[in-house]
């Protein structure tokens, strides 16, 4: 429909609507003028005066953008490097096609994704997302059975609160501890988990929230630090983070990645709908260890630079 016809069409619609509407005043001309005046007032109404966050929000967004650019390796590359990157990208795409189409090589295709130590980060659905998909479909898979009921489950293991020295002794390596933790957070648990192939020290810092988040579902802020050693012959493992940007960063002069809003834990709300707890994660590899600092706090309350600060203070 062209513009002339469109306006004519709208005009006919107005006429039709007018016939159906009760008249408020006895004078249709006055009525039209008032209507125009109202339309003008609505269009001219400046709502900004009602906002208390316009400036702060802008500052927050711009700062976040600057940080993302500062920590993301591909940003601000010179033009000639971009051209070179395009050629490299084309070669990489070709490589992926070859890898994926030749079965024996398919297993190695994961190597094309970001590697942090022995961990390969990819954008496949997280374990939580796979779990929810299976629960919703009702169809069991090799690892998840939606109809499984636990009749003889062991009591959930209560995490200990080891000191740094005790944890180091138990883990058999020096456990790094942060010299900096944001205000309000306190050591909650520290324990060592030995799977044979890996030894992980998990340390949680916790702060009770005065105002719960996510419609009252989150009552505490948690900063969890993990340090994992693995046997030299241990197989690399995959870490699927779902559809979130994998931002490459440098942590303590080592390669790392920043992941925002990873769906980590599934749960059902009061209506029985599946929801996720979203965590932000900083991962890096250093001296043969894999490290992860993750938090359930949103970036406006605990931004990436704070997590970086914790990482940089570890010793």
User: Taking CB under 8 A as the rule, does residue 43 contact other proteins?
Assistant: yes
Residue among 279, 276, 277 at smallest CA distance from 136: 276
Q: Is 281 helix (H, G, I), strand (E, B) or coil?
A: strand
Q: Does 26 bind other proteins (CB under 8 A)?
A: no
How do 119-122 and 237-240 pair as beta strands? parallel
Residue 9 as a binder of other proteins (CB under 8 A): the answer is yes
- Contacts from 210-213 at CB under 8 Å and sequence distance 24+? 213/297, 213/298
Find the part of the chain contacting other proteins (CB under 8 A) among 64-72, 145-153, 225-233, 301-309: 64-72
Q: Residue 230: beta bridge partners?
A: 198
Smallest distance, other proteins to C-beta of residue 214, A: 11
154 binds other proteins (CB under 8 A): no
Q: What is the pattern of x (binds other proteins, CB under 8 A) and - over residues 260-279?
A: x----------x--------
Separation CA 167–CA 191 (nearest Å): 7
Count the site residues for other proteins by CB under 8 A.
Answer: 55
State which of residues 27, 51, 137, 163 lies at the interface with other proteins (CB under 8 A).
51
In this complex, which beta carbon is closest to other proteins, that of residue 150 or of residue 270? 270
Residue 8 or 195: the one with the smaller Cβ distance to other proteins is: 8
Contacts of 110 (CB under 8 A, 6+ apart): 120, 122, 238
| 212 interacts with other proteins by CB under 8 A | no
Query: Tokens 């988040």 label which residue?
Result: 213
Residue 173 has what DSSP assignment?
S
Q: How far is the CB of 282 from other proteins (least distance, A)?
A: 18
CA 48 to chain centre: 30
Tell whether residue 210 is a contact of other proteins (CB under 8 A): no
Is 1 one of the binding residues for other proteins (CB under 8 A)?
yes
Question: What is the layout of strands, in order, in the sheet containing 237-240?
Answer: 114-116, 119-122, 237-240
Site of interaction with other proteins (CB under 8 A): 1, 3, 6-7, 9-18, 20-21, 24, 28-29, 31-32, 34-36, 38-43, 45-54, 57-58, 61-62, 64-66, 69, 75, 215-216, 245, 260, 271, 300
């Amino acid at each position: 429909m062209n513009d002339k016809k469109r306006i004519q069409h709208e005009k006919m619609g107005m006429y039709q609507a007018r016939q159906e509407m009760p008249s408020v005043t006895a004078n249709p001309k006055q009525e039209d003028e008032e209507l125009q005046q109202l339309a003008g007032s609505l269009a001219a109404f400046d709502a900004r005066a009602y906002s208390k966050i316009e400036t702060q929000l802008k500052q927050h967004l711009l700062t976040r953008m600057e940080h993302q650019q500062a920590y993301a390796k591909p940003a601000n590359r010179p033009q000639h490097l971009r051209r070179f990157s395009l050629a490299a990208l084309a070669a990489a795409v070709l490589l992926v096609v070859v890898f994926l189409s030749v079965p024996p090589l398919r297993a190695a295709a994961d190597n094309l994704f970001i590697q942090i130590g022995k961990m390969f980060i990819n954008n496949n659905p997280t374990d939580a997302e796979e779990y929810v998909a299976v629960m919703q479909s009702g169809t069991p898979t090799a690892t998840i059975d939606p109809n499984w009921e636990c009749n003889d489950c062991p009591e959930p293991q209560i995490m200990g609160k080891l000191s740094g020295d005790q944890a180091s002794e138990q883990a058999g390596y020096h456990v790094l501890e942060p010299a900096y933790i944001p205000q309000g957070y306190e050591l909650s648990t520290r324990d060592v988990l030995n799977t044979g192939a890996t030894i992980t020290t998990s340390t949680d810092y916790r702060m009770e929230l005065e105002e719960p988040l996510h419609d009252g579902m989150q009552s505490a802020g948690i900063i969890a630090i993990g340090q994992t050693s693995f046997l030299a012959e241990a197989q690399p493992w995959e870490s699927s983070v779902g559809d979130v940007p994998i931002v490459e960063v440098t942590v303590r002069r080592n390669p790392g990645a920043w992941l925002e809003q990873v769906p980590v834990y599934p749960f059902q709300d009061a209506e029985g709908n599946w929801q996720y707890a979203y965590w932000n994660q900083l991962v890096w590899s250093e001296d043969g260890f894999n490290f992860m600092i993750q938090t359930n706090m949103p970036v406006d309350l605990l931004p990436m630079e704070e997590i970086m600060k914790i990482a940089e203070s570890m010793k």
